[in-house]
Amino acid sequence: MLKGIPEILSPELLKVLCEMGHSDTLVVADGNFPAMTMGKNAIVIRMDGHGVPEILDAILSVFPLDSYVDHPVHLTQVVPGDTVPTPEIWKTYKDIVAKYDDRGADAFEEVERFAFYEEAKKAYCIIATGETAVYANVLIQKGVVINK
């Protein structure tokens, strides 16, 4: 056991987060995301009993977002013509990111569904969750840890 580390971050996930370097990406995927298909070249970690917000919050407590890009956080854009309104969960994500990054909502970019899938295929890691909200996938790009 370690002090100061959120309990939801398993030893396996902590190891992966430590292995990741600057500009590597991580997907925290909802329960409908094809994690095993998209993650053929990635590390896939299953966290089925958890939702995306609690995992995202825990990760961002130890994981810097990339400050060298305008939008280190990507969301799967709502498909045009879909009857789903702007997902409520996105506000939760923006509140979480604002706790850890001064850009807050400006750190986000919506990415067309299939373009998001192409980005996900290049991710270092995909976390498959049990999240039931639609359009709840989030991709984050790692930044640099700066010792002060």
The CA distance from 51 to 87, in Å, is: 15
Residue 117 is a catalytic residue: yes
Residue 102 is a catalytic residue: no
Could you say which of 22, 68, 70, 102 is catalytic? Answer: 22
Q: Amino acid letter at 51? A: G
Provide the angle, in degrees to the nearest 10, between the axes of the packed helices 52-60 and 89-100.
Answer: 10
The CA distance from 41 to 67, in Å, is: 26
Could you say which of 24, 71, 106, 117 is catalytic? Answer: 117
Report yes or no: 116 and 77 within 8 Å, Cβ to Cβ. yes
Could you say which of 30, 57, 66, 101 is catalytic? Answer: 66
Catalytically active residues are 22, 66, 117
